[in-house]
Amino acid sequence: MDSEKTNSRRQFLAKGAAFTGLALPFGAAKAQFGAEMEGLHPRRYDVVNATDERGFSLAYGSRAKFETPQRIASTTANGAVLGAYTPLQDLDGIITPSSLHFIALHYADAPPIIDPREHRLLIHGLVDRPLEFTVDEVKKFPSVNRVHFLECAGNSAPLFHEDARTAQTIHGWTSCSMWSGVLLSTLLQQAGVQKKARWILAEGADGAKHTFSIPLEKAMDDCIVAYGQNGEAVRPEQGYPLRLIVPGFIGVANVKYLRRLKLVDEPHMTRWETTGYVTARPNLRGKALWFDHEWGPKSVITRPSGGQRLEAPGYHQITGLAWSGAGSVRRVEISTNGGRTWKDAEVEGPAYRKAHTRFRMDWRWKGGGAELQSRCTDDLGNVQPTQAELAQLIGAPGPEWFKKTGIIIHDNHIQPWRVDRDGTVHNALL
């Protein structure tokens, strides 16, 4: 701060102090705040428990009552809730508010309520020293804070979205947070990984003991045992008090309520890696590819998107999110004519690795029909495919195949949005 600024700040503070005598004590029944408090020195600090008559709480804030974006849940014909979706079309920037993070709802007790004082994390199997940590002990290790997306392997798959029309219901099984925790490699070094170990079985503390095998190489690279999400504790829906973050891998690998890590020499062939979350591929003669866990480059235009309406011809900003499980987003291109020609969008920095990245482009809508598409290229040069290209990649006869079988594994096809003359926006794949 230069001296001129320092001086004027001092003067400002001195001026404020002159008014101290007029102020109510800070702990008065109704906290007084705002312009009148500027420059006053606090005398007491009180915990504010009550919400005032307008429903406003100072202790733990809530959003303006006029704001309505919310998660929505999908339910199957027999009443099973599949999950809750993030309202991607309503959000700005790259961080998903924790209260709007998508939720995978596999088990009846979701989310389990776990007392962190009773929770333990066990590391055992092919290690020199089996170890058990309390949550507080985990928090004593050197920490990292990293922005990463999470995305359910079934996101964007026609199987789950037969007649879905919005960014939220088609693509809302992805969210992005700043995760705080300890690198898994830090904890593994404490236990001493033996030479024979190749995989880690990770287990959660929910009713059905969600389990998944993680390759040791990945575990030692960038996995995080997270206790923090967007600056506060991980939410119960997201795995409180500890969850595994496996950056760039399909959601199911990111074990919530993490309570056990067993070092093993072979993958455990759990339910979710053998029969759930695998796709029978025509080019493998109906067999599935196991342990294919990394998300490819992906993007979706969130505004304008399905269900929205452009009010009038003229200026509109096209914006959306891009990400890749392999690294960072290098490039996003946008087409407004159904993929015939492409223009580079502006990719907003910082483009974190394995994280949602915001892109935008100015657009003048002339009022006629248009078809908007976005295409992501990651820093390894991988390019997001169209649905037809993806079909080719797995040996499917054509895009109709997706509608019939509903590929459910890391579907990263380009989402086309059709803009009609009346300005309404629709899923062009329906």
Number of residues in contact with Mo ion under rule CB under 5 A: 4
| Closest residue to Mo ion: CB criterion | 152
Instruction: Show the beta-strand stretches assigned E in 21-138.
Output: 72-75, 81-85, 103-104, 120-125, 131-134
252 is a contact residue toward Mo ion (CB under 5 A):
yes
Please tell me whether residue 55 adopts helix, strand or coil conformation: coil
Q: Which two tokens stand for residue 227?
A: 């206790």
The DSSP secondary-structure symbol of 220 reads H
- List all residues 6 or more positions away from 57 whose beta carbon is below 8 Å from its beta carbon: 48, 50, 51
Select 210 or 358, whichever has its Cβ closest to Mo ion: 210
Question: Residue 303 binds which entry of ligand MTE, Mo ion, none, with Cβ cut-offs from 5 to 8 Å by kind?
Answer: none
DSSP string, 348-365: PSP--TTS-EEEEEEEEE
Task: Determine contact, residues 235/100, Cβ cutoff 8 Å.
Answer: no
- Residue in 151, 198, 201, 143 with CA at minimum distance from that of residue 176: 151
> Is residue 15 within a helix (H) or strand (E), and if so which, with residue range?
helix 3-17
Residues 146-165 that bind Mo ion (CB under 5 A): 152
Question: Residue 255 binds which entry of ligand MTE, Mo ion, none, with Cβ cut-offs from 5 to 8 Å by kind?
Answer: ligand MTE
Residues at the contact surface with ligand MTE, assessed by CB under 6 A: 101-104, 106-107, 150, 152, 204, 206, 210, 237-239, 251-252, 254-257
- List all residues 6 or more positions away from 405 whose beta carbon is below 8 Å from its beta carbon: 159, 280, 396
Q: Report in angstroms how near the CB of residue 175 gets to ligand MTE at its nearest.
A: 6
Q: Report in angstroms how near the CB of residue 211 gets to ligand MTE at its nearest.
A: 8
Contact pattern for Mo ion over residues 70 through 109, marking x by CB under 5 A: ----------------------------------x-----
* Angstrom distance (rounded) from CA 375 to CA 355: 16
Q: Report in angstroms how near the CB of residue 340 gets to ligand MTE at its nearest.
A: 35
Q: Report in angstroms how near the CB of residue 207 gets to ligand MTE at its nearest.
A: 9
187 is a contact residue toward Mo ion (CB under 5 A):
no
Question: Residue 103 binds which entry of ligand MTE, Mo ion, none, with Cβ cut-offs from 5 to 8 Å by kind?
Answer: ligand MTE
376 is a contact residue toward Mo ion (CB under 5 A):
no
The footprint of Mo ion (CB under 5 A) covers 104, 152, 251-252
